[in-house]
Amino acid sequence: MRTQSFFDRQTTLVLSLLAAVAILVPSMNGLAAPGSALHLSDHLVPLLGKYVCFALLALSVDLIWGFCGILSLGHGAFFALGGYAMGMHLMRQIGPRGVYGDPILPDFMVFLNWKELPWFWHGFDSFPFAVLMVLLVPGALAFVFGWFAFRSRVTGVYLSIITQAMTFALMLAFFRNDMGLGGNNGLTDFKEILGFTVQAGSTRIVLFVLSVLALAGGYLLCRWVVGSTFGKVLVAVRDAESRTRFLGYRVEHYKLVVFTLSAMLAGIAGALYVPQVGIINPSEFAPAGSIEVVIWVAVGGRGTLAGPILGALLVNAGKTWFTAALPEFWLFALGGLFVFVTIFMPRGILGAVGDLWERSSQRFRSGRQPQPVTHAAE
């Protein structure tokens, strides 16, 4: 089928682009002499790394929204939880180098008179444990949340709103200083990761390449999931949930698996994001942030996998430029983009490109095309 080949070409294209980026960025930053035309200045590396993490987050949202019709307005929560898990590890790595020189307690605990490390901080001094938590904490939350929500058939708008309630509740909770996670200030002032200085240029490059690899891996994983039989059922759930259920599929199980998987991807994105931006704080849980992720997906084209990557990169690059060049107009531009995309490009940039592709191929061989994306029923 043409759709299939479109996807295959897309996969090749995405992977080769990512590979090119993973090679070009480090070499332009490290090999090209500063001042030369090909040099990529140091401050752009973590910035690009941040975009790549956002792209992975957008990809995880696309997996459930684009292919299973679950619109999560709380994916920022999974991203932030992954980030906090990594942040806690980095805090423990500071050791006695904090301003108070306490070998165990992070600075914020010292000046708030905490006497000992809360139980949930134990284990985070080990990197493998932290990595495990990066996957497990968001995954477990998604599993429990999804278990309840999908079993009782909470769908559509209701699901979106309770995911929003979830991330809002988490934000309030993490803002509390009594949580033992730094309150509003969050976790910051990281020193090193696995023995490498976080601020060092080489560490940055490695983190960037890791992020690109994670994005490529995430993309392949999603590609594999949606291409499998399992993925076909997901699309069936998206397009006609009741019908799928009547056909004998346990819809809630499919949803639960893909929701948990998506949350874990978001967690990985968060874990890679934190060492690159150097701070994690509760504002990452803000409901507005999660809504913004959805718009990245919508801009790029949901249900396309490559679209959300493109959308995240474009919108964030736009944000970076606007907030520097025309600070007052950033919200106008973002708001306008939301409205424009939903009305005029319901399937996003890649959706529109895909349409063009199909239309041109239809001239060669007429025949009915399976619609890659329908407007998901509620």
Contact positions with another protein (CB under 8 A) in 163-222: 164-166, 168-169, 172-173, 175-177, 183-186, 188-190, 198-199
| Per CB under 8 A, 84 contacts another protein | no
| Per CB under 8 A, 37 contacts another protein | yes
What is the per-residue binding string for another protein in 281-300, x denoting contact by CB under 8 A?
x-x---xx--x--xx--x--
Contact positions with another protein (CB under 8 A) in 322-341: 323-325, 327-332, 334-339, 341
| Per CB under 8 A, 310 contacts another protein | yes
What is the per-residue binding string for another protein in 62-81, x denoting contact by CB under 8 A?
---------x-x--------
Cα 139 from chain centroid? 14
Smaller CB separation from another protein, 226 or 309: 309
Could you tell me the smallest distance in angstroms from the CB atom of residue 144 to another protein? 11
Smaller CB separation from another protein, 124 or 145: 145
Q: How many CA atoms lie within 13 A of 9 on its CB side?
A: 7
Burial class (CB in 10 A: 0-12, 13-18, 19+), 196: middle
Q: Residue 303 phi/psi, 5° resolution?
A: 75, 20
Amino acid present at 181: L
| Per CB under 8 A, 343 contacts another protein | yes
Q: Rounded distance, CA 188 to CA 378, Å?
A: 41
Smaller CB separation from another protein, 182 or 231: 182
Q: Do 108 and 182 touch, CB atoms closer than 8 A?
A: yes
Smaller CB separation from another protein, 36 or 229: 36
Whose tokens are 């039989």? That residue is: 229
| Per CB under 8 A, 95 contacts another protein | no
Smaller CB separation from another protein, 132 or 326: 326
Q: Of 283, 318, 315, give the one whose Cα is nearest residue 183.
A: 283
Contact positions with another protein (CB under 8 A) in 230-259: none
Alpha helices in 69-104 (DSSP H): 75-94
Could you tell me the smallest distance in angstroms from the CB atom of residue 285 to another protein? 12
Interface residue with another protein, options 12, 202, 342, 371 (CB under 8 A): 342
Question: 171 vs 9, 175, 271, CA distance in Å?
Answer: 41, 6, 18
Alpha helices in 152-286 (DSSP H): 156-175, 201-227, 229-239, 241-246, 251-277
Burial class (CB in 10 A: 0-12, 13-18, 19+), 166: buried
Could you tell me the smallest distance in angstroms from the CB atom of residue 198 to another protein? 8
| Per CB under 8 A, 50 contacts another protein | yes
Structure tokens at 210: 């890791």
Report the run of H or E that residue 337 belongs to, with start and end. helix 330-344
Gap between the terminal Cα atoms of the chain? 28
Contact positions with another protein (CB under 8 A) in 125-164: 145, 148-149, 151-158, 160-162, 164
Q: What angle, rounded to 10 degrees, do the helices at 201-227 and 306-325 form?
A: 140
Q: Which stretch binds another protein (CB under 8 A): 134-142, 232-240, 271-279, 362-370?
A: 271-279
Smaller CB separation from another protein, 130 or 306: 306
Contact positions with another protein (CB under 8 A) in 100-119: 100-102, 108, 110-113
